[in-house]
Chains A and B, each alone.
Chain A
Amino acid sequence: AIQMTQSPSSLSASVGDRVTITCRASQGVRNTLGWFQQKPGTAPKLLVYEASSLPSGVPSRFSGSGSGTDFTLTISSLQPEDFATYYCLQNYNYPYTFGQGTKLEI
């Protein structure tokens, strides 16, 4: 199975900061990667698909980039509601695999 390695595992930041989370795949996955946000006690929410596309309703302060093995999720100006854990997920081949998560503390 493809291994996804996220960094950092936790991150402390302030409202208004620009934050970047990275995800590295153990082999190339083209652009078949998504990013999810999960808040405690709730279901995850899809933020980015195909590495850089945002579903409708996702704020434009979120952006994704990368292809192959290295990917980033950037939040351009942190808002208080962005406190959450973020995960990448490769959907290049089965079994799909998540990164271990990045806990963002405001």
Chain B
Amino acid sequence: QVRLVESGGGAVQPGESLRLSCAASGFTFRNYPMQWVRHAPGRGLEWVGYIRSDGSNAYYGDSVKGRFTISRDNSNNIVFLQMDSLRLEDTAIYFCAKEDWGLPRDWGQGTRVTVSS
């Protein structure tokens, strides 16, 4: 079955960087687009971004565009979320998800990111 395991979360200060990883198994990773979604404390879900199955294209939510970069390693079944210039409002649990029907269908358990001075 599909298994997604995020890692790399932690506590950082504003302006710093962090790279999240999502290790995938149980499906043919190279055939599927992947998405990232976050959930900030006390707030709703926010769509972070998408990467095409071959890694050739990516799209981002307005609040992270220009600061976050999604990439993938299809040889090792990993998708990454590089987060630069982090802000207090980036504090959230970050989920990676396998896309089906254009939507995040199968989700990881999430990794917590805390941005605090």
Which residue on B lies nearest to A85, using beta carbons?
B44
How many residues on chain A are close to B (CB under 8 Å)?
A: 25
Complexed CA–CA distance, A49 and B107 (Å): 15
Which DSSP category, helix, strand, loop or mixed, fits chain B's interface?
strand
- Say which residue of A32, A38, A53 sits within 8 Å of B45 (CB atoms): A38
- Say which residue of B39, B44, B47 sits within 8 Å of A96 (CB atoms): B47
CB of A82 within 8 Å of the partner chain = no
Interface residues of A in 32-79 (CB under 8 A from B): 32, 34, 36, 38, 43-46, 49-50, 53, 55
CB of A97 within 8 Å of the partner chain = yes
Is A46 a contact partner of B95 (Cβ separation < 8 A)? Answer: no
A-B interface pairs (CB < 8 A), number: 64
How many residues on chain B are close to A (CB under 8 Å)?
A: 25
Complexed CA–CA distance, A65 and B37 (Å): 24
CB of A91 within 8 Å of the partner chain = yes
Complexed CA–CA distance, A55 and B106 (Å): 11
20 A-B contact pairs sorted by A residue (CB < 8 Å)? A32-B102, A38-B39, A43-B107, A43-B108, A44-B45, A44-B95, A44-B104, A50-B101, A55-B105, A85-B44, A94-B50, A94-B59, A95-B47, A95-B59, A95-B60, A95-B62, A96-B35, A96-B61, A98-B44, A98-B47
